[in-house]
Structure 1
Amino acid sequence: MAATEVEGGRRDDRKRCQGHKPNQSSRDDFFRWLFTVAQRKVAMITFDVLIVYDFALRGR
């Protein structure tokens, strides 16, 4: 029961914030999307570097 009450409180806070600043939610969504895209790019680059490093070590 305590968990559902806490979740309900969080939802109410979110609704109140969105009602107070209408432009805030779209801006937050944009930054969240930007962050996920950047995270994926960093993960892909890290993975590529690890693969190249692995091949370099095997070549020795």
Structure 2
Amino acid sequence: MSDIVKDAKALGFVETLLHRRRYIPDITSRNFNLRGFAERTAMNTPIQGSAADIIKLGNG
């Protein structure tokens, strides 16, 4: 399990490079499918969200 998922479970959210937060309430779900989706979301959000932040900065 990655550090990002561990942090998301502890904090309940993940952040992008510009500190935008995405809350992930299902990260501690007992339902395997919901938890799996939340874990994948926790791993993807910092990458995709940070890319979006950079694009926004570039567009002014």
TM-score, with structure 2 as normaliser: 0.35
Q: Which has the larger radius of gyration?
A: 1
Q: Which has the higher strand share?
A: 2
Q: Which has the higher contact order (CA 8 A, sep 6+)?
A: 2
TM-score, with structure 1 as normaliser: 0.35
